[in-house]
């Protein structure tokens, strides 16, 4: 059983801050198929459509029949540990600072033999176990050796913590605590063991329902933050930017209608000012500090979370300008991800379907409750994924978009059915 994670000690200010380094991250285009599945929490391997052989590492042709008819298929991950070794020396900068490091040679039940990073709770070989996939600090898929059944505190194993963004004992900023989603996010983080939760609040004269209940939580500290005001964002970053480990941007403006049903550009400007330019202001002010602390001990800076929408993938005309603002934010988030990756900071994009809030009152079920959305974000941080699609609608739209985005566009134009 993994020992419970100890609360980190207060950092000695005269000790050096370890600079971020990355594990080896070069991958060919074919191998990136494994990473593409891992970004949304799936473990997939290549399977030959002609002879049925499953293979690893990824190749352009089947290693049995040389067929090019290869498809990425879900892998169960059941396996047998054949042998293990413990790495005590490495010339690689990333692993040199994390030794000793346990590795194992594993035979998957589906056929391939693979090398995995072994958790401490996996017994000595020969033994039954599971193989899972995670994104490492460089954002590339790697294979993990897991116990056959989940053990207590397994997520606190040091190898697992390197591959995830668990909020336990970390300091988190929630940019808007006055929305229903923001309040649910604060409660979920408190339950997950976050050490300190800064809650951004604009327009202090407004006191929405539920806001007082989160301010009473012992982990919560309020910070003035208006993402539409550059000075406010700069002052917040100057006050807490060097201490934040995870930024969760829940600030958004959501209005209905598309182009022809509303005159003027005021509403669209407001959506862009919060949903796009708000993210840009936050990234410019908080991003450099996060990058500088990407390897700063047990509870270093690890993640940036953006609340987007499934409408960002393909415009939903009934929410047309909102969809456009979220599509712009998605493009910006991809840029942010590229800039954060050298420091090992994971940018997590959240694509919920319709949320059960004021702006979706007339949208029929199924809808995602704020509490379910917050739980999905915490799970995404623990699992170390890049993209998460909470709710039945988001899952369905994702499958339709991956199958054929042009067909989905036509379906949405016809009302979404």
Instruction: Say what percent of the chain tops pLDDT 90.
Output: 76
The angle subtended at Cα 200 by Cα 332 and Cα 363, nearest 5°, is 65
CATH numbers and ranges of domains, the chain = 32-162 (no CATH), 171-413 (3.40.50.720)
pLDDT band at 416 (very low <50, low <70, confident <90, very high): low
Average pLDDT over all residues of the chain: 92
Look at residue 296 and tell me whether its pLDDT is greater than 80: no
Closest alpha carbon to 171 in 106, 104, 240, 264: 240
Look at residue 9 and tell me whether its pLDDT is greater than 80: no
172 and 245 Cβ atoms separated by less than 8 Å? yes
Q: Across the chain, how many H-helices and E-strands are there?
A: 12, 15
Look at residue 118 and tell me whether its pLDDT is greater than 90: yes
pLDDT band at 6 (very low <50, low <70, confident <90, very high): confident
* The two three-digit tokens of residue 27, written as one number: 């991958």
Over residues 303-322, mean pLDDT: 95
pLDDT band at 251 (very low <50, low <70, confident <90, very high): very high
Look at residue 5 and tell me whether its pLDDT is greater than 80: no
* The two three-digit tokens of residue 296, written as one number: 């700063």
CA dihedral sign, ordered 398, 399, 404, 409: negative
Write the CB contacts of 403 (distance below 8 Å, at least 6 apart in sequence): none
pLDDT band at 1 (very low <50, low <70, confident <90, very high): low
Over residues 340-369, mean pLDDT: 92
Instruction: Say what percent of the chain tops pLDDT 70.
Output: 99
307-329 in b/e burial notation, b at 16+ Cβ within 10 A?
bbbbbbbbbbbbbbbbbbbbbbb
Look at residue 305 and tell me whether its pLDDT is greater than 60: yes
Q: What is the pLDDT of residue 417?
A: 54
Closest alpha carbon to 416 in 396, 391, 389, 390: 396
Query: In this structure, what DSSP letter does residue 82 have?
Result: E
Quote the CA–CA distance of 82 and 106 in Å, as a whole number. Answer: 5
Q: What is the pLDDT of residue 268?
A: 94
Reported as a single tens digit per residue, the pLDDT across 376-385 is 999 999 999 9
Cβ neighbour number for residue 115 with a 10 Å cutoff: 15
Quote the CA–CA distance of 219 and 121 in Å, as a whole number. Answer: 31
Look at residue 13 and tell me whether its pLDDT is greater than 80: no
More confident residue, 3 or 226: 226
Whether cis (ω within 30° of 0) applies to the bond prior to 2 is: no
* The two three-digit tokens of residue 300, written as one number: 């270093």
321 and 257 Cβ atoms separated by less than 8 Å? yes
Query: In this structure, what DSSP letter does residue 251 have?
Result: -
Write the CB contacts of 161 (distance below 8 Å, at least 6 apart in sequence): 5, 155, 298
Over residues 359-378, mean pLDDT: 92
Alpha helices in 42-112 (DSSP H): 93-96
Closest alpha carbon to 248 in 333, 331, 176, 342: 176
Look at residue 213 and tell me whether its pLDDT is greater than 80: yes
pTM of the full structure: 0.93
Reported as a single tens digit per residue, the pLDDT across 143-187 is 999 999 988 888 888 888 888 999 999 999 999 999 999 999 999
Quote the CA–CA distance of 141 and 34 in Å, as a whole number. Answer: 6
Over residues 210-235, mean pLDDT: 93
């Amino acid at each position: 059983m993994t020992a419970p994670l100890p609360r980190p000690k207060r950092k000695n200010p005269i000790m050096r801050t370890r600079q971020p380094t990355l594990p080896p991250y070069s991958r060919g285009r074919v191998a990136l198929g494994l990473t593409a599945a891992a970004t949304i929490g799936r473990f997939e391997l290549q399977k030959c459509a002609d002879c049925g052989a499953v293979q690893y590492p990824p190749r352009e042709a089947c290693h049995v029949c040389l067929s090019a008819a290869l498809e990425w298929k879900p892998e169960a991950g059941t396996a047998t540990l054949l042998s293990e070794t413990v790495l005590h020396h490495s010339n690689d900068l990333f692993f040199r600072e994390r030794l000793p490091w346990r590795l194992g040679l594993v035979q998957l039940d589906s056929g391939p033999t693979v090398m995995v990073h072994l958790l401490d709770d996996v017994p000595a070989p020969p033994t039954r176990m599971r193989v899972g996939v995670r994104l490492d600090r460089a954002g590339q898929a790697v294979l993990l050796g897991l116990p056959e059944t989940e053990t207590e505190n397994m997520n606190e194993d040091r190898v697992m913590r390197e591959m995830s963004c668990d909020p336990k004992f970390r300091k988190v900023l929630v940019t808007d605590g006055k929305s229903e989603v923001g309040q649910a996010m604060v409660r979920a983080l408190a339950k997950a063991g976050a050490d300190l939760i800064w809650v951004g609040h604009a327009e202090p004269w407004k006191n929405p329902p539920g806001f007082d209940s989160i301010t009473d939580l012992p982990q919560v500290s309020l910070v003035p933050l208006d993402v539409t005001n550059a000075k406010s964002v700069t002052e917040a970053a100057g006050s807490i930017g060097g201490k934040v480990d995870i930024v969760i941007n829940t600030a958004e403006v959501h209005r209905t209608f598309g182009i022809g049903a509303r005159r003027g550009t005021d509403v669209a400007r407001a959506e862009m000012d919060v949903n796009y330019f708000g993210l840009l202001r936050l990234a410019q002010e908080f991003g450099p500090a996060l990058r500088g602390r990407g390897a700063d001990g047990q509870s270093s800076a690890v993640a940036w979370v953006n609340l987007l929408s499934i409408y960002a993938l393909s415009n939903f005309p009934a929410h047309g300008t909102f969809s456009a603002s979220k599509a712009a934010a998605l493009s910006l988030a991809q840029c942010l991800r590229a800039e954060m990756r050298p420091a090992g900071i994971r940018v997590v994009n959240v694509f919920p379907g319709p949320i059960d809030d004021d702006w979706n009152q007339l949208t029929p079920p199924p809808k995602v409750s704020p509490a379910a959305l917050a739980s999905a974000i915490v799970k995404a941080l623990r699992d170390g994924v890049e993209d998460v699609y909470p709710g039945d609608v988001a899952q369905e739209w994702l499958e339709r978009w991956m199958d054929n985005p042009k067909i989905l566009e036509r379906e949405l134009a016809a009302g979404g059915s």
